[in-house]
């Protein structure tokens, strides 16, 4: 289960909610095959999220749902009696928002009862974005950020797709009803133009900015447009409909079976399920004969799943993620049972929320808009209430540090027994205890660092901090060193990019990290052609590649650094807890972790590279992980880690005098 919902790729994020439109053709006849197709899509999504191995590509349900929405909405807007824009938006609000509000409010309550205060704080922020219908942009930003992409998935992460749906409704409703005014040639032109531009952008962003390509409305519009084109083309009796239907169903099933987390998505890969869904829609409901795909889709079990699909989709993800956050990794049998069990609250939501509102006596637009306004407001209030309670539970984020009586004066000299009330930074501040680097830690897709100098930027004397985010975490420890000498600190840092010369795959982007290779080459050339620094301090995550690749990569990079003629110091990599330490402490759990898993052999020490290339090694691992057993999460009132693997900026600043002393002792500083 932990692997199932580790958000290293945006495809783990859920799929779009099924379109809340009565399945029908543009002529108004009910189509049971569309209801069954919704059932197929939601079942593949549930199986994927539950971790069923056979459906490793079950996330392609997003394409089916988006194509369905485009088909149904375009058929309505371009039909013989298109609604007024106000009526259209009121109807959308009435059918979509109340069920979503129920789930969001229930999720806020479950978060308050079952989650620790730190996770509840994160959930409260996510609830606000989900209720505000912009969750897709929030989660795109989080996954593009290397430092937040590996956090536990939000229980409302799947609401990104609801945001995309509602943004589509606003955009498409306005374009078709106000600009096209029901004229089919204009609707066709809009469909083709929007679809083509969106698909080209989807290809570009999937290759260059995978999380944004997945979550962005702009890169998903082509799927709605494809469904819209199918609605405009649809005829009740289409030649070859039987073959077309089976080909479409085969395409959807093949994508769900063959694709997996390594498939670049959406990109061109999304064409297979999207075209399959469009083919099924064009094939029509058939004549009811057994050999037609529409007959299979119209079977009672699939139609029952289709009727429940919207509410089932909304409920299953909070159930799975909150259970995983509360109890840890769960076996397959449990995740499947939870996914199936979420059908009960889904049925209750359908029975007592969706159907009464859908069948209400009054369909006046003002009533629909009022219902939508209430459905937006209630979860916003729930999110604010949850956030306020979580902040109070965490205590004063600026509380004074409590150091036990009789403590020695040096940094990090006590045993690891620490009272949480005395931690600095506090758990409320831990997530934001980043180095003061501003925009120096460049985005994943950038291949050049800006000019970033701190201390005395105009000084001809400078210390260069070079590496990935495990180098950037030491910035607060080096700033006092340069400031007391009136020097500059130049920060050249790229997250997720090893300084040893090697090519790696980035799991957030879902491809080979070519930007890293270009950044490394550009940065080393930049140092070679610029003024010689007084000192180069390098560091990095000691986890990329194999031990042999790391050793060979360091040798290549150190050879180039030696040619600069400046002294080089290496900060040994810090322990990797493998768990979110602030969340763990907020949960009241035992948060130590085994030393043998947290520390790997350092190539510069074990392979003699430091001696060969004249590199001074600063090794503080024994301070952070004393002894031979378990490593502590905090020492002497100092919280050591801000997430699953980065030290707090407070710790780096605490170690600044030690760093200064060691550099002076080694003769690298005056």
**pLDDT tens, residue by residue, 591-606:** 899 999 999 999 999 8
The total domain count for the chain is 2
Last residue of a domain, one of 357, 390, 423: 390
Please give the Cα distance from 296 to 305 (Å, whole number). Answer: 13
Residue 489: per-residue pLDDT: 96
Please give the Cα distance from 461 to 534 (Å, whole number). Answer: 6
Residues 341, 452 within the same domain: no
Around 237, how many Cα atoms within 13 Å sit in the side-chain half-sphere?
A: 0
CATH assignment of the domain containing 501: 3.40.50.1110
Residues 240, 316 within the same domain: yes
Could you list the residue range(s) of the whole structural domain that residue 181 is in? 10-390
Band of pLDDT at residue 30, cut at 50, 70 and 90: confident
Please give the Cα distance from 540 to 580 (Å, whole number). Answer: 19
| 461-465, 466-470, 509-513, 531-535: segment of lowest average pLDDT | 509-513
Percent share of the chain, pLDDT over 70: 88
Kindly state the average pLDDT of the residues 336-343: 96
Q: Closest Cα partner for 167 from 96, 238, 102, 119?
A: 96
Q: Of 75 and 438, which is predicted with more confidence?
A: 75
Residues 382, 453 within the same domain: no
Residues 372, 503 within the same domain: no
Q: Of 181 and 666, which is predicted with more confidence?
A: 666
Residue 267: per-residue pLDDT: 92
Residue 180: per-residue pLDDT: 81
Distances (CA, A) of 147 to 1, 508, 544, 646: 22, 11, 17, 9
- Per-residue pLDDT reduced to its tens digit, 86-97: 899 888 888 899
Band of pLDDT at residue 287, cut at 50, 70 and 90: low
Task: Indicate whether 61 pLDDT > 70.
Answer: yes
Please give the Cα distance from 259 to 581 (Å, whole number). Answer: 34
Residues 383, 442 within the same domain: no
- Per-residue pLDDT reduced to its tens digit, 519-565: 999 999 999 998 999 999 999 999 999 999 999 999 999 999 999 99
Flag whether 167 is in a domain. Answer: yes
Task: Decide if 489 contacts 453 (C-beta within 8 A).
Answer: yes
Please give the Cα distance from 307 to 328 (Å, whole number). Answer: 32
Residue 611: per-residue pLDDT: 94
Band of pLDDT at residue 8, cut at 50, 70 and 90: very low
Last residue of a domain, one of 363, 390, 417: 390
Residues 96, 159 within the same domain: yes
Task: Indicate whether 461 pLDDT > 70.
Answer: yes
Mean pLDDT over each residue of the chain, to the nearest integer: 86
Task: Indicate whether 438 pLDDT > 60.
Answer: yes
Residues 450, 335 within the same domain: no
Flag whether 330 is in a domain. Answer: yes
Residue 363: per-residue pLDDT: 66
Task: Indicate whether 356 pLDDT > 60.
Answer: yes
Residues 79, 225 within the same domain: yes
Task: Indicate whether 21 pLDDT > 50.
Answer: no
In 490-526, which positions are buried (b, 16+ CB within 10 angstroms) versus exposed (e)? Answer: bbbbbbbbbbbbbebebbbbbeebebbbebbeebbee
Please give the Cα distance from 524 to 557 (Å, whole number). Answer: 8
Kindly state the average pLDDT of the residues 502-517: 88
- Per-residue pLDDT reduced to its tens digit, 125-181: 999 999 999 999 999 887 765 556 566 789 999 999 999 999 999 999 999 988 888
Residues 376, 441 within the same domain: no
Flag whether 412 is in a domain. Answer: no
Please give the Cα distance from 101 to 90 (Å, whole number). Answer: 16
Flag whether 413 is in a domain. Answer: no
Please give the Cα distance from 510 to 513 (Å, whole number). Answer: 9
Please give the Cα distance from 338 to 320 (Å, whole number). Answer: 7
Residue 98: per-residue pLDDT: 94
Last residue of a domain, one of 390, 413, 447: 390
Tokens standing for 631? 């490593």
Residues 148, 16 within the same domain: yes
Residue 155: per-residue pLDDT: 94
Residue 300: per-residue pLDDT: 94
DSSP tag of 287: S
Tokens standing for 111? 């978060």
Task: Indicate whether 203 pLDDT > 60.
Answer: yes
- Per-residue pLDDT reduced to its tens digit, 390-429: 666 665 554 433 333 333 333 443 333 334 445 788 888 8
* 3-class DSSP string for 553-584: HHHHHHHHHHCCCCCEEEECCCCCCCCCHHHH
Instruction: Determine how β-strand 535-539 pairs with β-strand 568-571.
Output: parallel
Flag whether 16 is in a domain. Answer: yes
Flag whether 587 is in a domain. Answer: no
Residues 259, 344 within the same domain: yes
Residue 15: per-residue pLDDT: 45
Residue 4: per-residue pLDDT: 28
Task: Decide if 203 contacts 268 (C-beta within 8 A).
Answer: yes
Residue 157: per-residue pLDDT: 93
Flag whether 425 is in a domain. Answer: no
- Per-residue pLDDT reduced to its tens digit, 590-646: 889 999 999 999 999 988 999 999 999 999 999 899 877 889 998 888 899 999 999
**Torsion (CA) 467, 472, 476, 482 in degrees, nearest 10:** 30
Residue 506: per-residue pLDDT: 85
Task: Indicate whether 355 pLDDT > 60.
Answer: yes
Residue 478: per-residue pLDDT: 95
Residue 379: per-residue pLDDT: 87
Flag whether 223 is in a domain. Answer: yes
Residues 347, 465 within the same domain: no
> Residue 182's CB: how many other CB atoms inside 10 A?
14
């Amino acid at each position: 289960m932990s692997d199932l919902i580790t958000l290293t790729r945006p495809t783990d994020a859920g799929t779009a909610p099924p379109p809340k439109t009565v399945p029908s053709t543009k002529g108004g006849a009910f189509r049971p095959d569309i209801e069954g197709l919704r059932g197929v899509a939601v079942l593949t999504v549930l199986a994927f999220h539950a971790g069923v191995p056979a459906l490793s590509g079950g996330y392609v349900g997003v394409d089916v749902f988006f194509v369905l929405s485009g088909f149904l909405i375009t058929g309505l807007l371009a039909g013989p009696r298109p609604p007024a824009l106000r009526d259209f938006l009121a109807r959308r609000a009435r059918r979509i928002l109340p069920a979503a509000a129920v789930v969001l409010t229930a999720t806020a309550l479950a978060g308050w009862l079952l989650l620790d205060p730190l996770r509840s704080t994160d959930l409260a922020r996510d609830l606000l974005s989900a209720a505000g219908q912009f969750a897709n942009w929030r989660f795109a930003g989080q996954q593009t950020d290397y430092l937040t992409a590996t956090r536990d998935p939000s229980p409302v992460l799947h609401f990104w797709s609801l945001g995309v749906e509602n943004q589509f409704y606003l955009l498409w409703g306005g374009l078709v009803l106000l600009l096209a005014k029901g004229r089919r040639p204009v609707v066709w032109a809009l469909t083709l133009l929007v679809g083509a531009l969106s698909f080209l952008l989807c290809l570009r962003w999937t290759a260059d900015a995978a999380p944004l390509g997945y979550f962005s409305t702009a890169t998903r519009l082509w799927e709605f447009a494809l469904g819209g084109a199918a609605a405009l083309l649809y005829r009740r009796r289409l030649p070859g409909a039987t073959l077309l239907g089976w080909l479409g169903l085969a395409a959807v099933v093949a994508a769900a079976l063959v694709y997996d987390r390594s498939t670049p998505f959406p990109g061109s890969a999304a064409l297979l399920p999207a075209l399959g869904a469009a083919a099924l829609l064009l094939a029509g409901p058939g004549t009811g004969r057994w050999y037609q795909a529409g007959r299979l889709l119209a079977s009672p079990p699939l139609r029952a799943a289709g009727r429940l699909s919207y509410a089932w989709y909304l409920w299953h993800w909070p159930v799975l993620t909150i259970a995983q956050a509360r109890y840890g990794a769960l076996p397959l049998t449990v995740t499947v049972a939870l996914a199936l069990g979420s059908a009960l609250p889904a049925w209750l939501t359908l029975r007592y929320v969706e159907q009464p509102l859908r069948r209400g006596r009054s369909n006046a637009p003002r009533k629909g808009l009022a219902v939508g306004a209430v459905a937006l407001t209630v979860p916003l209030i729930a999110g604010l209430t949850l956030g306020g309670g979580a902040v109070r539970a965490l205590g004063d984020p600026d509380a004074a540090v409590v150091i036990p009586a009789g403590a020695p004066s040096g940094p990090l000299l006590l045993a690891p027994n620490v009272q949480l009330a005395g931690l600095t930074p506090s758990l409320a501040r831990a997530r934001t205890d980043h180095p003061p680097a501003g925009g120096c830690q460049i985005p994943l897709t950038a291949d050049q660092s800006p000019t970033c100098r701190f201390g005395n930027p105009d000084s001809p004397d400078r210390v260069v901090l070079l590496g990935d985010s495990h180098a950037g975490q030491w910035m607060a420890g080096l700033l006092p060193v340069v400031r007391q000498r009136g020097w500059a600190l130049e920060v050249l840092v790229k997250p997720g990019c090893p300084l040893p010369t090697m090519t790696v795959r980035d799991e957030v982007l879902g491809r080979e990290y070519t930007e890293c290779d270009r950044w490394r080459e550009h940065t080393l050339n930049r140092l070679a052609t610029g003024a010689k620094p007084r000192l180069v301090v390098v560091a990095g995550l000691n986890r990329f590649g194999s031990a042999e690749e790391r050793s060979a990569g360091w040798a290549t990079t150190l050879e180039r650094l030696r040619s600069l003629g400046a002294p080089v110091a290496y900060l040994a990599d810090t322990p990797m807890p493998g768990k979110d330490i602030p969340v763990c402490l907020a949960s009241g759990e035992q948060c130590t972790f085994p030393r043998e898993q947290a520390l790997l052999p350092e190539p510069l020490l074990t392979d003699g590279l430091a001696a060969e290339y004249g590199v001074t090694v600063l090794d503080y691992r024994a301070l952070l992980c004393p002894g031979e057993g378990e490593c502590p999460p905090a020492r002497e009132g100092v919280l050591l880690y801000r997430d699953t693997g980065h030290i707090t900026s407070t710790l780096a600043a605490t170690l600044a005098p030690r760093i200064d002393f060691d550099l002076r002792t080694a003769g690298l500083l005056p």
